[in-house]
Amino acid sequence: MLRIERKEYLDWLIRWKEKQIIKVVSGVRRCGKSTMFDIYRDYLLESDVNQDQIIMLNFEDVDWEHLTNYRLLYDYIKSMLQPDRMNYIFLDEIQHVEQFEKAVDSLFLKENCDVYITGSNAYFMSGELATLLSGRYVELKMLPLSFKEFCSGLDAQQREFSKNEKFNLYVENGSFPYILKYRHGKKETREYLRDIYNTVLLNDVVARLKIQDVNMLENVTKFMLHNIGNKVSPTKIANTLKSEGKSVDQKTVDRYIRGLTDSLMLYEATRYNIKGKQFLTTQSKYYTVDVGLRNILVKGKESDVGHILENIVYLELRRRGYEVYVGQLGDGGEVDFVASSPDGFAYYQVAATTLGEETLKRELAPFKKIADNYPKYLLTLDEVFGTADYDGIQKRNVLDWLLGE
């Protein structure tokens, strides 16, 4: 069976190996967290760790249902520990265990326990996790496959495709690992994506927030997915829906958006005032965790190539470890992304093409209003004149950039 090696995530787990801190792996449902544990377990076994030092429990497997009480779970694991050696404990979908933090905390206190946990539930992902395990955990935030990872998992025939053909496949089918693993046709792929969408919406949003009006939640979700990369506010959304005869208030919309971001179906990019070095609290932009999910709900997506590209670049910047914001200029203009890291900032503009002179001027203009010397990148799909230097502003072909070339 195909298994895509996800090197950056594996390197993170190795870096934190045997450090006395709880390792939390978070991410939207079906993004590959359980498989990541399998890959890491194989690494441990190849590094002279014995099988009896590894305890792996997946609480979505009915075999472990009897351990969903924290005390029973703790007693079971304690009975399996190897006393004079390090024990590697993997607890997958831990949110099914009531008061799981009590068992996890007790294991964390033992010097010979290296504890790793995952969970998909929005309750587990949201700020409540910080309260439960405050100061005792580090978090690996997983996303579905990058374009580079997606290409590495293509079959022999698909590997002969051009970069553009591979990218079209990536945009159309989405980035969830299962789709590559089983190589289904278009109909099955859409059904699978619809299943993920329904599961996240019903289990991670409706159930958690006790939402009564599921139809209105779907209306808000469709609006958000249709408007990736646009500035939106709860008031604007409520007014738009009201104009379509769907009555909803701003507070309800705000609550639904929080539920969608907690479920990790949506990510919020807040605005950052570049000159004033201040974060702005209004009119954020939102991006979806997977453009394939968006495709099953949004019609006429081909005309929206600019925002789809923007979405993919946003996720890639997050994968590369950046905090990502929308750059606000003093005159009301914008830079698509401000990527922040401990080393400083980098600025990104994303466009389908800048071969037209006016388009190029428009895309370069925001950069010229930024006074600092941090790197500035213009990413496009252009193959002809795909690479250029405009007074220090680097133009790159976005597919080459995504592939690390």
DSSP element (H, E) containing 273: strand 266-273
DSSP element (H, E) containing 262: helix 250-262
Q: Are residues 357 and 259 in the same domain?
A: yes
Residues (pLDDT < 50) of the chain are none
Last residue of a domain, one of 124, 141, 158: 141
Q: Are residues 194 and 265 in the same domain?
A: yes
Q: Are residues 87 and 167 in the same domain?
A: no
What is the structure's pLDDT at 81? 98
The C-alpha atoms of residue 212 and residue 97 are separated, in whole angstroms, by 26
Domain tally, the chain: 2
Burial, 240: exposed, middle or buried (Cβ in 10 Å; 0-12, 13-18, 19+)? middle
Burial, 402: exposed, middle or buried (Cβ in 10 Å; 0-12, 13-18, 19+)? buried
Q: Is residue 105 part of a domain?
A: yes
| CA distances in angstroms from 51 to 11, 76, 93, 118, listed in the order given | 21, 17, 21, 21
- The range of the structural domain enclosing residue 278 comes to 148-402
Q: Is residue 2 part of a domain?
A: no
Q: Are residues 182 and 124 in the same domain?
A: no
The C-alpha atoms of residue 388 and residue 391 are separated, in whole angstroms, by 10
If phi > 0 it is left, if psi is from -120 to 50 it is alpha, else beta; for residue 265 that is alpha
CA 77 to chain centre: 31
Burial, 113: exposed, middle or buried (Cβ in 10 Å; 0-12, 13-18, 19+)? buried
pLDDT digits (tens, 9 = 90+) for 23-58: 999 999 999 999 999 999 999 999 999 999 999 999
Q: Are residues 196 and 321 in the same domain?
A: yes
Q: Are residues 156 and 235 in the same domain?
A: yes
What is the structure's pLDDT at 123? 56
Q: Are residues 331 and 383 in the same domain?
A: yes
CATH, residue 19: 3.40.50.300
Last residue of a domain, one of 93, 112, 141: 141
55 token code pair: 């305890």
Local structure of residue 98 (DSSP, 8 states): B
Q: Is residue 1 part of a domain?
A: no
Q: Are residues 152 and 136 in the same domain?
A: no
Q: Is residue 166 part of a domain?
A: yes
Angle at 366 between CA 363 and CA 370, to 5 degrees: 145
Q: Is residue 29 part of a domain?
A: yes
Q: Do residues 346 and 209 touch, judged by C-beta distance below 8 A?
A: no
Q: Are residues 311 and 385 in the same domain?
A: yes
Amino acid at 104: V
Q: Are residues 131 and 153 in the same domain?
A: no
Q: Is residue 194 part of a domain?
A: yes
Local structure of residue 176 (DSSP, 8 states): -
Q: Are residues 111 and 172 in the same domain?
A: no
The C-alpha atoms of residue 334 and residue 273 are separated, in whole angstroms, by 9
Q: Is residue 252 part of a domain?
A: yes
Last residue of a domain, one of 95, 110, 141: 141
Q: Are residues 377 and 395 in the same domain?
A: yes
Q: Is residue 327 part of a domain?
A: yes
| CA distances in angstroms from 323 to 66, 221, 269, 316, 317, listed in the order given | 40, 24, 9, 11, 8
